[in-house]
Amino acid sequence: MNERLMQSTGSPWLAGSAFPDAGALHEDTVADVCVVGGGIAGLTTAYLLGKAGKNVVVLEAEHLAAGESGRTTAHLASALDDRFTELEKLHGSEGARLAAESHAAAIDRIEAVARDEGISCDFARVDGYLFAPRDEQRDVLDRELAAARRAGLEVEPLPRAPWPSYDTGPCLRFSRQGQFHPGKYLAALASAVRRQGGRIFVHSPVKVFEGGAKARAETRAGHAVRAGALVVATNTPVNDRMAIHTKQFPYRTYAVAFGLPTGSVPRALYWDTEDPYHYVRLAEAPGGREILIVGGEDHKTGQGRRHEPDCFSRLEAWTRERFPEAGEEEYRWSGQVMEPLDGLAFIGRNPGDENVFIATGDSGHGMTHGTIAGLLLTDLILGRENPWAKVYEPSRKSLRAAGEFVRENVNVAAQYLDWVMPGEVGGAAKIAPGEGAVVREGLRKVAVCKDSDGKVHRHSAVCPHLGCIVHWNDAEKSWDCPCHGSRFSPQGQVINGPALGGLAPAES
């Protein structure tokens, strides 16, 4: 059985995107820089370092854009969803200004790379509209308008966003935002890395990370890359067991794409101020048609809403009320974002390691955060000054976010109570084909799922990272850990870190 046979969702970005052919790493090698992870952060870093003359090797566990970069909605926004009012409180007015400046520069850089490399990736400059659907939230917009202007963004208040069939109420219009097709962009970026002499290896999961004068990454197959610098761009830092994972928290987020009569809704980015919030854009579909992509319904991974497919139903209901012109559903998918406790990514030197760099904490702005990672890590590795280094420093102390730190880590600690709870169902007989549940067998907890043919898969329900009990995700047909976001296939193989290995067999 294919390891993802039960996976039920997919985005519009990967089919038809021409990624260069690549094989697995089959021997030891050396490079100036070894980049681990073939998403936007890893490929942008590899591209910019290659352009600066560095000899780069990229190691990807699966295929390029296999992670969240293939599951994004690809808004390119400097209007940050953690809000400038909050970022000012957490990072001061200069920190908020640097955050705005860096995200705007990332959009500029994507535009420049697409132009310089001749990449047809549907890049477009669009406006972004932030609206407050409920009366009591309207002062949020007034405060955000002032804070975003202080941060240096071009923004103006308007009575409503330009939706033809629905009055959003007052909104803010942010200029010079962007959108693109991430599959086309990343496929071309990978080809550019190759043209510069960079080497890309897929199906090469790294399991050992070592810092030092000659840093080292060793794949599960036992082949190693020695390099002057190691960049861990695996979305969540799989080289780190604890430190960063107490400062960022995994959330699932959902997206649905509907057919749309071309030109019926103005092309722009749209966001509301609800909690959880909604995000909307349009995109070109094959044949020149237009699709409307609506995202939202975020919740902590493995927690809260126990039936993930309901998140799609809620998104559809929300969309049909506001966009009566929306046609058939064409795609649905979900993914994971890492929410840093103070709203900004962690990009820079890995705390306590020599010549090891990380990029994580994307907070739903990973297209721009990943591009900032490319720019910032290139400067750090080349020994150049970068004005954003301090705000993204991974070892920073976020004292102003101490309340959030306590709240989130108490939530993580509470997940260990699952050890003493009864199983979710009495036994495998109660589990339908295509579903899974945790079953108690004496003192053990067993993750039991059935594939569509009714074949039973049994694994230990204990996450190999730090021992929380996994939960079944019925939308993605995966086992998700509620503590730090590790995820596993029905066959127990690891899909997302920080776990580096899979679930143990149930009978071990």
Ligand X SMILES: Cc1cc2nc3c(=O)[nH]c(=O)nc-3n(C[C@H](O)[C@H](O)[C@H](O)COP(=O)(O)OP(=O)(O)OC[C@H]3O[C@@H](n4cnc5c(N)ncnc54)[C@H](O)[C@@H]3O)c2cc1C
Contacts with ligand X, residue ranges (CB under 6 A): 36-42, 59-62, 66-69, 71-75, 205-206, 233-235, 238, 253, 255, 295, 335-337, 359, 362, 364-368, 370, 497
Contact partner at residue 484 from ligand X, ligand FES, none, CB < 5 to 8 Å by partner kind: ligand FES
Contact partner at residue 69 from ligand FES, ligand X, none, CB < 5 to 8 Å by partner kind: ligand X
Q: Which of residues 439-478 bind ligand FES (CB under 6 A)?
A: 463, 465-468
Q: Of how many residues is the chain composed?
A: 508
Q: Which residue lies nearer to ligand X by CB, 74 or 121?
A: 74
* Helix (H/G/I), strand (E/B), else coil: 41: helix
Cis peptide preceding 309, ω within 30 of 0 = no
Q: Which residue lies nearer to ligand FES by CB, 161 or 481?
A: 481
Shortest CB 199 distance to ligand X, Å: 14
Contact partner at residue 40 from ligand X, ligand FES, none, CB < 5 to 8 Å by partner kind: ligand X
C-beta of residue 151 within 8 angstroms of C-beta of residue 84: yes
Contact partner at residue 466 from ligand FES, ligand X, none, CB < 5 to 8 Å by partner kind: ligand FES
Look at the block and give the residue holding tokens 């329900």.
Answer: 461
Q: Which two tokens stand for residue 329?
A: 């559903």
Q: Which residue lies nearer to ligand FES by CB, 69 or 486?
A: 486
Binding mask 471-500 for ligand FES (x = CB under 6 A): ----------x-xxxx-----------xx-
Shortest CB 418 distance to ligand FES, Å: 11
As a whole number of angstroms, the distance between CA 488 and CA 482 comes to 12
C-beta of residue 269 within 8 angstroms of C-beta of residue 73: no
* Helix (H/G/I), strand (E/B), else coil: 59: strand
Burial readout 195-218 (b: 16 or more C-beta within 10 A, e: otherwise): ebebbbbbbbbbeebbbeeebbbb
Q: Which residue lies nearer to ligand X by CB, 74 or 381?
A: 74
Q: Which residue lies nearer to ligand FES by CB, 236 or 371?
A: 236
Q: Which two tokens stand for residue 475?
A: 């939308």
DSSP character string of 227-270: EEEEEE-SSS-TT-SSTGGGSEEEEEEEEEEEEE-TTSS-S-EE
Contact partner at residue 465 from ligand FES, ligand X, none, CB < 5 to 8 Å by partner kind: ligand FES
Q: What angle do CA 35, 371, 85 make, to 5 degrees?
A: 130
Q: Which residue lies nearer to ligand X by CB, 362 or 418?
A: 362
As a whole number of angstroms, the distance between CA 153 and CA 156 comes to 10
Look up residue 366 and give its DSSP letter.
H
Residues of this chain that interact with ligand FES (CB under 6 A) are 463, 465-468, 481, 483-486, 498-499
